[in-house]
Amino acid sequence: MSASAATQGTPTFAYDVTAVDPRANEALFVSLRRASLGDDATSEAIFRWQYLEGPEGPTEALVLRHLDPVEPVGWTSVQPRRLAIDGHVELAGLLVNLVVVPAHRTARPALLLQRGALAAARRSYELSYGYPNRAALAGFLRAGYRKLGAFVRYTCPLRDFDAALARAGVGAGMARFAGGAAGLFGPAARRALWWRWRHRYAFAWTDTVDERLDALWARASAASQGRVLGERSAAFLRWRLLAHPDEAHALGLLVERRSGELRGYVAVRRSGERVEVGDFYAEDGSYGPLLDAMLADLSHDGVEGVDVGYLGRPEVVAALRARGFRPREDLRTVIVDPGSVPAWLWEPSRQHLTSADGDL
């Protein structure tokens, strides 16, 4: 595939976009990534993980070439992802790794690369979507994508009482006096919220996946009528969350005691005193217990706060807010090229999108 942007009489502004085999172009990816984003010691590992090891096979790669002189100056790709859409599982394309080296970082070459990504996605998939940053959003919309909604960061402080004392300038003696009260507003309160569910659920952390996640995904995909849900199989979660070269996560599993069935999970990684939720999913009625269990555990582990990115169902947002999560900023805008999927399915309230569904 070649989409030429050559303009007669202006050869220095001539570009094209060409599909390449990622298996033969690891060094090119690494060099372009480093030229665009700076030195990154894990680029080789990221390449192998993202392009060669995914559960749905290799990721399609596109290279932007400057034609005078001929040199590669940009890269993007379309990664295969499975989505449960209205009760059926479809293969979709996820836009990942849009990079253009600084000397060519203008609107026209970037737009050519974005249009090339859309064309490649339409040839291979029923639909495609992405999480572009603010700088790339306008180009993708111009290329033909449309906005789905804002991917929002929600933040929950776990040491807000101590932080309030510090902001107020409370001295060490007064802080010790207030220590008992701090427990009422911190770990003890979180533990009490979780204890109301303990008779029904068990919660434990793990760094492995098993067949219970496949059973949960099978039930979720079958029950996706009127919804869109990204894959949550054991193979996908192992690759996406546990095998990531830079951002390996731990999984917290919520199990119903009576049946022994997995009702939900949360994937987290710690960075200093904060925890980032990379993914979470629960069956209807189980989001409250899942979030309470996670927050109770983390509040006893010296965690200052928890961050989660989400776009989707109002009842899930309500469960987050009821536990102290508040919107802080729009991280990205999710875009979609829906293909023949009915437009009504692409309302934000019908989605369940976390960081794991994108390339964040």
Q: What is the pLDDT of residues 166-222, one digit of tens each?
A: 544 544 444 444 444 444 446 788 888 999 999 999 999 999 999 999 999 999 999
1-15, 51-65, 118-132, 277-291 — which is least confidently predicted? Answer: 1-15
Residue reference for tokens 């989400």? 310
Helix (H, G, I), strand (E, B) or coil at 133: coil
Give the pairing type, strands 250-256 and 262-271. antiparallel
Residue reference for tokens 């776990």? 158
Q: What is the pLDDT of residues 51-109, one digit of tens each?
A: 999 999 999 999 999 998 999 999 999 999 999 999 999 999 999 999 999 999 998 99
Sign of CA dihedral 262, 264, 270, 274: negative
- Return d(Cα 93, Cα 208) in angstroms, integer: 27
Helix (H, G, I), strand (E, B) or coil at 104: helix
Q: Which one-letter amino acid corresponds to residue 57?
A: G
pLDDT tier for residue 10 given thresholds of 50, 70 and 90: very low
CB 287 within 8 A of CB 325: no
Tokens (6 digits) for 27: 């060094």
Specify burial of residue 343 (Cβ count, 10 A radius: 0-12, 13-18, 19+).
Answer: exposed
CB 100 within 8 A of CB 164: no
Closest by CA to 295, choosing from 155, 162, 199, 180, is: 155
Region 333-337: mean pLDDT is: 98
**Alpha-carbon distances, residue 96 vs 145, 182, 251 (angstroms):** 14, 44, 24
Helix (H, G, I), strand (E, B) or coil at 81: strand
Residue 175: predicted pLDDT:
42
Residue 38: predicted pLDDT:
80
Residue 234 has pLDDT above 80, yes or no: yes
Q: 278 in the Ramachandran plot: left (φ > 0), alpha (ψ -120 to 50) or beta?
A: alpha
Q: Measured in Å, how far apart are the chain's first and last C-alpha atoms?
A: 28
Residue 240: predicted pLDDT:
97
- Return d(Cα 222, Cα 309) in angstroms, integer: 25
**DSSP codes, 246-284:** S---EEEEEEETTT--EEEEEEEEEETTEEEEEEEEE-T
Residue 163: predicted pLDDT:
52
CB 209 within 8 A of CB 242: yes
Closest by CA to 265, choosing from 289, 236, 296, is: 289
Specify burial of residue 21 (Cβ count, 10 A radius: 0-12, 13-18, 19+).
Answer: exposed
Domains of the chain: 2-144 (3.40.630.30), 152-357 (3.40.630)
Helix (H, G, I), strand (E, B) or coil at 54: coil
Q: What is the pLDDT of residues 249-270, one digit of tens each?
A: 999 999 999 999 999 999 999 9
Indicate the helix (H) or strand (E) that contains 215. helix 211-222
Tokens (6 digits) for 195: 């204890």
pLDDT tier for residue 300 given thresholds of 50, 70 and 90: confident
Closest by CA to 154, choosing from 335, 353, 349, is: 353
